[in-house]
């Protein structure tokens, strides 16, 4: 049986706020460590029927970057859900929500910038 590993290192400041997130994977085509400003990691506990999550972002992650990150995450979750279930209606709903979320964010940013 083949084994694959994903390694995540988080450097924290004195208040335990992430300053840097680095990761690498044994099956990656990239040989060097990758940097990230944010991460979301979820596991499904089948026994307890609960999601276990780790959500981290560095203090230099900008609000507009967070909105992009969430939009892209929603879209990729929809794609993953489609691969797993082939449920076109639910996938369409998820993607529509993602688009609505991002449009609303942009509209809010425009209002704030005008003020």
Q: What is the pLDDT of residues 44-94, one digit of tens each?
A: 999 999 999 999 999 999 999 999 999 999 999 999 999 999 999 999 999
Distance from C-alpha of 92 to C-alpha of 61, rounded to nearest angstrom: 29
CA 2 to chain centre: 26
Distance from C-alpha of 5 to C-alpha of 36, rounded to nearest angstrom: 18
**Nearest CA to 78 among 91, 61, 68, 67?**
91
* Predicted pLDDT of residue 110: 92
Per domain, the residue ranges of the chain are 1-59, 62-115
Distance from C-alpha of 12 to C-alpha of 20, rounded to nearest angstrom: 7
Per cent of the chain over pLDDT 70 is: 100
Four-residue CA torsion sign, 43, 4, 20, 14: positive
pTM for the full predicted model: 0.90
Distance from C-alpha of 15 to C-alpha of 6, rounded to nearest angstrom: 26
Distance from C-alpha of 70 to C-alpha of 97, rounded to nearest angstrom: 11
């Amino acid at each position: 049986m083949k084994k694959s590993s994903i390694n995540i290192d988080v450097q924290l400041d004195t208040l335990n706020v992430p300053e840097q997130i680095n990761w690498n994977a044994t099956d990656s085509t990239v040989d060097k460590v990758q940097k990230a400003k944010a991460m979301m990691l979820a596991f499904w506990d089948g026994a307890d029927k609960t999601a276990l999550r780790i959500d981290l972002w560095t203090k230099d992650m900008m609000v507009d970057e967070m909105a992009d990150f969430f939009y892209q995450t929603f879209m990729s979750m929809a794609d993953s859900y489609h691969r797993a279930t082939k449920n076109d209606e639910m996938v369409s709903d998820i993607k529509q929500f993602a688009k609505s979320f991002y449009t609303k964010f942009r509209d809010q940013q425009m209002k704030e910038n005008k003020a």
